[in-house]
């Protein structure tokens, strides 16, 4: 029997599964559309089924780590809106459905990705921070070589840092969150509001992609220029707050919109220099490296470094 580490990344669109050797090499991967019906109640059973289907006959699971899009503390997720989950004991549910086939670790998806990025670096020093830019904004913190969950599982929820006192209303119910300025959903909403009385505006698109917004900015179309300026400003400000709080080895920009944001990274750095505190001005602000595989690789690395699994 070949023992395999299994990294799972449960997202609002797809569930990704990676099968790795115990040395951390990716053997194969699979994915399926996240079954969101009935508040996502079949996500965990479907994931276990797919894990079994992806493993070959001579392979056995040595451990499985699962990333979920919500705050996690001790194997329980405290709400994952995109999956339809309220408070849900994911670890227990997976353990039951797999009948205790192997040890299970559950973490926040961005935290697992942060751990993967941290381990992918030549000189892995912590603290180390990943900011994930997508429809919303999340993040993960590695401190003392471990994922920092925080008391309630909210550590690294950088999207809800207040960067402006009179900012737009965020989904969390408060005003001025980073995510409402620099998450794709927030950017779209701000543009939509600004072009409401301008039916000819080329930004009336559905879905309006980040590439469309970047192209419109290049052409000098007003709401795109203004809204992206605000996004860059918010990210520069947020980055300076994060590095002041953690003085990290590096601050990485990853997530679904990594490529688009990489174009804006020089401008974010420019703003960052304006706000950064003392030596943290030298903190590298860089593009994350693992791309789409960050979630499953991070999950695998957490398994590889879990003391309980070493015996
Ligand atoms: Zn918020």
**Which H helix or E strand runs over 294?**
helix 294-304
pLDDT at 307: 62
Confidence of residue 310 (pLDDT cuts 50, 70, 90): low
Query: How far does the centroid of ligand 1 lie from the alpha carbon of residue 293, in Å?
Result: 27
Tell me, in angstroms, the distance from the centre of ligand 1 to residue 211's CA: 24
113 Cα: distance to centroid of ligand 1 (angstroms): 21
Q: Are residues 176 and 156 in the same domain?
A: yes
What average pLDDT does range 94-114 have in this prediction? 96
Q: pTM for the full model?
A: 0.92
Q: Does residue 149 share a domain with residue 274?
A: yes
Give yes or no for residue 278 having a pLDDT over 50: yes
Domain count, the chain: 2
Q: How far apart are the CA of 171 and the centre of ligand 1, in A?
A: 6
pLDDT of residue 306: 83
Instruction: Report how far ligand 1's centroid is from the alpha carbon of 234 (Å).
Output: 13
- Segments forming the whole domain that contains residue 108: 2-115+292-309
* C-alpha of residue 132 to centroid of ligand 1, in Å: 15
Same domain? 141 vs 281: yes
Residue 222 has pLDDT above 80, yes or no: yes
Q: Tell me how far the alpha carbon of residue 8 lies from the centroid of ligand 1, in angstroms.
A: 27
- Report how far ligand 1's centroid is from the alpha carbon of 184 (Å): 14
77 and 207 within one domain: no
pLDDT tier at 221 (50, 70, 90 boundaries)? very high
Q: For residue 53, give the CATH number of its domain.
A: 3.30.420.40
Residue 258 pLDDT: 85
Ligand 1 centroid to residue 100 C-alpha, Å:
37
């Amino acid at each position: 029997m070949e023992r395999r580490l299994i990294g799972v990344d449960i997202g609002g669109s797809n569930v990704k599964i990676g099968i790795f050797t115990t040395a951390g090499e990716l053997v194969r991967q699979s994915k399926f559309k996240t079954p969101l019906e009935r508040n996502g109640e079949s996500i965990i059973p479907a994931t276990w089924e797919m894990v079994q289907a992806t493993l070959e006959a001579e392979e056995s699971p040595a451990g499985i780590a699962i990333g979920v899009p919500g705050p996690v503390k001790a194997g329980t997720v405290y709400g994952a809106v995109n999956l339809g989950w309220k408070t849900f004991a994911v670890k227990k549910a997976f353990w039951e459905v797999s009948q205790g086939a192997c040890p299970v670790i559950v973490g926040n998806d961005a935290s697992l990705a942060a751990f993967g990025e941290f381990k992918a670096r030549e000189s892995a020093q912590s603290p180390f921070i990943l900011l994930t830019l997508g429809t919303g904004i999340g993040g993960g913190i590695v401190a003392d070589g471990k994922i920092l969950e925080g008391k309630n599982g909210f550590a690294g929820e950088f999207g809800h840092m207040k960067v402006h006192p009179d900012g737009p209303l965020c989904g969390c119910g408060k005003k001025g969150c980073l995510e409402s300025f620099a998450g794709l959903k927030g950017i779209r909403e701000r543009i939509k509001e600004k072009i409401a009385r301008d039916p000819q505006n080329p930004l009336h698109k559905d879905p309006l992609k980040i590439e469309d917004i970047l192209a419109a900015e290049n052409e000098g179309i007003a709401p795109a220029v203004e809204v992206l300026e605000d996004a860059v400003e918010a990210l520069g400000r947020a980055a300076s707050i994060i590095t002041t709080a953690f003085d990290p080895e590096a601050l990485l920009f990853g997530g679904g919109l990594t490529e688009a944001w990489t174009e804006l990274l020089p401008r974010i750095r420019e703003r960052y220099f304006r706000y950064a505190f003392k030596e943290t001005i030298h903190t590298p602000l860089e593009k994350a490296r693992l791309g789409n595989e960050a979630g499953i690789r991070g999950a695998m690395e957490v398994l590889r470094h879990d003391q309980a699994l070493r015996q």
